[in-house]
Every structure is written in C-alpha cells, then in structure tokens.
Chain A
Amino acid sequence: MINILEVILVLILLTVLLSLGSTRLMALVRIMVLQGVLVSLIPLFLKSHEILTFGSVVFYLAMVIIKGILIPALLYRAVKHVSIQREIEPFVGYHASIVAGLAVLLAAVFMANSLKLTLPEGRELILVCAVTTMASGFFLMLARKKAITQVIGYLMLENGIYLIGNALTQHHHNLYIVEFGVLLDLLVAVMVMGIILNNINHAFDDVDTTLLGQLKD
C-alpha cells in the first residue's frame, strides 16, 4: 500500500521547493502552514512511537496546534498588518534559489549515501528531508530582504531540526525534552519576532531588513 510516511516527507520536500520559488508573501505563508502541519504529522507515522502515552499525546497535540494554527495565525496577522508590498524582494533571484534548492538536495543525498552514517533502521529519507529543509530555511534567511521572510526561514530551519529530533533519536533518552525544547524555540521565534516585527513596522514604516543597517563597523 502507499507508504504514508514517505509521501509526507516528499510533500515536505515539495513545500521546500515551492517556498524557494514563491514570489508572493501570502503564498509563502500558506506554504509554511502546509509544511508546519505536515512536519507535525510525522511522529504519528514513525514505528518507534507505537506506544502512545498521555504525555506524548499532549505534546503531539501541542505541536500540531502551535505549528498548524498558532504560528500561521500570527504570520497571517503580521502579513495583513504590514504587507503594503506583497512582493517578496529577493537578494538572490528565484531561478537561482530553485537551483540552490536542487543543489542542497543533491548534497543531502550525497551525504546520506557516502557518509555511511549508522542510522536507526530505514531513516535515510528523513535525514535527507530534514537536512534539505534546514539548509533551505537558512538559505531563505540569507537570500530574502524582508524581516518576515527571515522569520519564515527561521521557522523552516526549526521544522528541519524538529524532523531530525523526532525521527532520529529515541524517546527513552529524552522524556519529551526534545518536544519541550522545540516548543520553547518556537515560542522564542513567535513571541519575540512577532513583537519586533510590529515594532519594526512602527519605527521604519516597513519590514525591510536592509533598513536595519545603521549599526556597523
């Protein structure tokens, strides 16, 4: 039958590619919503998570709510609040971005193949997917001008790390600390960056990070 885990992972790769190529802020936010939901679905389909305890269910739900509802809502709000210009304004063009995405995936596959890393059974695709997501998130942060696109890039990076944390490490060592850590990280992202986004808008009338260039040597 259809291997749902693989399909979800491939869909995550799809969102990564689309996010690299998207030209509109709103479209990018929608893609991120999809990605967040997909990523938060992953733990359900992992074999080592067959035993669902109360704690894991709570954390799982929390993750879905935060990644799938809370963050999108805040991003929507931020975009509605600030978006006078809907264009994304890249430093690096869209074609180059897509090609960069291809290069990243190639590198990730090469890494998974050639390093011969010892992995828990059959998790190469997750590793590839996570590395690609992380690197692309990093790339988005560097290659886009607007402050909000940098936040989105950060969230993408975070998604990749969550994938690795959930997929590659086993639970008895961590006692939900992985989830707790990622939750905290997301809160940092959402709260502080949300506040700052609002304030950047106040102080500069735009959310372009090129305006943030007064402090330098």
Chain B
Amino acid sequence: MSSSAEEIEKVIGQKYKEGFVTEIEVETFEPGLNEDIIARLSAIKGEPEFMLQYRLQAFRHWQTLEEPDWAQLNIDPIDYQAISYYSAPKKDSEKPQSLDEVDPELLDTYKKLGIPLDEQERLAGVAVDAVFDSVSVATTFKGKLKDAGVIFCPISEALQEYPELVKQYLGTVVSEKDNFFASLNAAVFTDGSFVYIPKGVRCPMELSTYFRINAANTGQFERTLIIADDDSHVSYLEGCTAPMRDENQLHAAVVELVAMNNAEIKYSTVQNWYPGDENGVGGIYNFVTKRAECRGDNSKVSWTQVETGSAITWKYPSCVLLGDNSVGEFYSVAVTNNYQQADTGTKMIHIGKNTSSTIISKGISAGKSQNTYRGLVKVAKSAENARNYTQCDSLLVGDTCGAHTFPYVEVKQPSAQVEHEATTSKISEDQLFFCQQRGISAEDAVSMIVNGFCKSVFKELPMEFAVEAQALLGLSLEGSVG
C-alpha cells in the first residue's frame, strides 16, 4: 500500500486523551450482587418503598435470564458477582449545594474533560447535571429551569421529591423485564437524570449530563427518564467518558423517553468511554437500552449518537410510534478502532397512522475492529401510510476490520412505504489523490472526506456537541484512511 499506511499506524496508535484517574476518596460496596446489596443501595439513597420492591422484582426476574448472545460480538464472560454495584464520592452525606462546595479535584476532572461546568453562565446556556460514577455531583441552572416549570434533577432526588411522577412513568417504556441488561439496570441503578417538561413549555436551554466511570471494578448503571408533556419541547445532551484501566468495566444504562401530544424530544449522545488499548485490553462494556415512546399524536423523538468509545457497544435507541403522525429519527455515527466491537442500530415500531421514521447510520471501522448496524423497521397493520427511509453507509479503514449490516424489515400494512439502502466502501485512492493534487495534505484530505461522510449526522447535533464530535472523530481516525 501507499506511504499513507504508515501514517495510518501512527494515527491509529494515538493515546486515549481522557484516560486520567481522579484520586478522590470513594465509598464503594464490596463486589457482589444479592438482595441485601440491593436493599442497602435503596436504603442509602433513601428511596420510597415502591422502588425497593421494583428493584427486587427486577432482580428476581434477572436471575432467570441468560445473557443475550445474538449480537455480532465476542465478549469475555462477565462475572456479575465480581462487580461493585455502588461507588460514590465520600462526601456524600453533605451533598454539595453549589459549585463552591464541590471537591476541587472533581472540578479539576471536569476541566480536563472540557465540561464548561463553572463557566456555564458565560457559555451558551447548557445546564449540566454531572454524574461522577454514580451520584450526581452538581446541577446547574436549576433556578432558571424552575421558573419555566421544568424539572431537571438526578433521578434519586426525583424519587424523593416527585415520587408519584416517577412512579407513573418509570419502567413504562423499558419494563424491568425487558431484557437481561435492562433488568440488571432496574435492580441496581444508582443514579441518572430525570426530566419533566410540563405542558406547553419549550425548555429554555439545552439540558446536559456528563457521565464518567472513575473507580475501578465498578459498573455504572444510570437511568434516565425524560417526559415531555403535551406541546412541549426539549433537547437533551449526554456525554460519557471513563479512565484507562486494564480490567473491563461494565456500563448498563437504561434511557426512557416519553413524548405526549405534539411534544418533541431531541436526545443527543457523544459516547467516548475508554475503548481499551491497542491490544484490546481493558475498556468499557457498554450495554444500553434506550427507547422512546411517541405516545401522543404529532409527537417527535430524534436520537442522535456519536459512538467513538467502549470496547463493546450494544445499543439500539428505538422509537415506538404510537401516536398518529408521530415521527422517529435516528442519526448515528459509530467509529471503531483497534479491537473495539460495536453492534448498534435502532428499532422503529410503527403503530399509529401516518407515522414516519428516518434512519441514517454511518459506520466507520479501522484497526481490527468490528462494526455492525442492526436495525428493525416494523410496520403494524394499524400503521396506515407509514413511511420509513433508512440509509446505512459503512466506511472501511484498513483490511483487518469488519463492517456488517443487518437490517430487519417487517411490514403488515400495504400503504406503508419502506426503503432501505446500504453501501460499504473505502476511501478511494482517487478521492485522496484528487485532494492532494490540489495541495491538501493526505491527512487533511482524509479528515475532510470522513467528515463529509458523517455530515448528515453531525448536522443534527447541537452546536457544542458537533464541535466535540468532530474533534473526537479526528482523534480516533485522522489520517487513518487510505
């Protein structure tokens, strides 16, 4: 191959930039999972009784389940008894009320991550509810949100302050019996975000959460619940990172979205968990169940994800389109390198009339990685005039990686129109040459072409994230195509 092959090696070999460990005291449960652990967890969080019952029910069901093995993934067996299910910064008892009270070392961590936590007011108005390991550390912009009537808080807080609201919606989109990882999450989730947008309110700013797994041997089990009541609108951003460690860490999250009549939820994720080193040692196992229900007529849910991290990604953000004229969208860029494995995609379940969905998925695989798109478009008999358009493109970088496309289409309604297209290719020498011939360096040319390849997804991201996503993409792949 051309000289760019060496450059590829160089760039692919780039170190994970977020891989620092914050040395702060943590209170951690001993490894293991049983009903006592769950009861202790629930007690520490001061949860209402129904939550404990919910967790135990989920745990009992989880014990009857087997790990799913249908994905195009090679996973070393996970020992669920060797994981600690709770890890919180020590000063939990006196939870910080404002940023000044937060452990300075923690704030330092966020600075390294580049989260504008203490510059919020000056920046574009992103309220961050940062989840550090499992407990929410600080929530900003609460006042402004409160004026608008928006509830945005850690789910543990919501369980204490709005138990009825949480009870009404928790587990109604992803039941505690949904799948192996969702059951596990329901049993042991430690924290997460809760958002409620009341009727007719357009959330005044974009809401944001940052997740980070810090302690070794801990799993991160967060749970997010977002409810957009009639005629409301919210845009929610989520980012994730984890430090470098040799062991694999488990992350099993559940995200539930509910959109009522005319409501719109936009959910954006930039996932940059530690992917393991160049030999495939370490890295996060990311098993996530994300699902949205468009319960109301004319509602809309849009998922946008940029997946660059994790040793293993198992994630299918889905939309159940119940309401008439409801809309589901899924925009995804998944980048895998070294020994990363990603099996990700979406499900669009059309039930209401005139529902429509769009799926745009861009997979980029490099190194020895495997990148799979797996999606389902299901049109029920009741979904008259349903419409789906799916496009899955894969870009291969290097000759030892794999790119796979497994779409499922099931249609029971003749007036439905479903289209699916997929292509797989590599950046051609011609394209590179064309750019180089005009004085653009090989590296810049590749970056341009890859960014162009992902443009239709990046344009869906909110401004702050789009910048980060492009930087991440550059970090993982710059110059590595040829």
Say whether A associates with B: no
